[in-house]
Amino acid sequence: MKRFTVVDFDCVAEVPCPCGTSRRALADVPEFPGTVHRTTITGVAQAHFHRRLTETYYVLECEPDAAIELDGQRVAVRSGTCVVIPPGVVHRALGRMTILNIVFPKFDPQDEVLTDA
């Protein structure tokens, strides 16, 4: 019996998200309490928040002027930046970037609330 999981994100199906596209992994692994997404953000993402999920964005690569807006505050990011986004924080990415998004508990699309901000 295998006691580990290996994910090749290039083999995970891409799905649309408020930021662009995302490859969501580990949803089917009971031993892991969250999910990990590789998300490609294509510009200004739609503002949203989560009722119960905590997201952690780790920026893999981005444009020089990329930022994340958190409750209306613009925060500059660069490759290597890590941002923890608790439930209820309205957020969106600004500019092109690729991130790892670590989500606890497991991602649930019903938990995502789009806003006009």
What integer pLDDT is reported at residue 19 of this predicted model? Answer: 87
What integer pLDDT is reported at residue 85 of this predicted model? Answer: 98
pTM over 0.85: yes
Could you give the strand order of the β-sheet that contains 112-114, starting from the edge strand earlier in sequence?
Answer: 73-76, 67-70, 91-94, 48-50, 112-114
Beta bridge mates, 55:
85, 103
Q: What gap in Å lies between CA 47 and CA 115, rounded to an integer?
A: 5
- pLDDT in 10s for each residue of the chain, 117 residues: 778 999 999 999 999 998 899 999 999 999 999 999 999 999 888 999 999 999 999 999 999 999 999 999 999 999 999 999 999 999 999 999 999 999 999 999 999 999 975
What integer pLDDT is reported at residue 117 of this predicted model? Answer: 59
What integer pLDDT is reported at residue 28 of this predicted model? Answer: 94
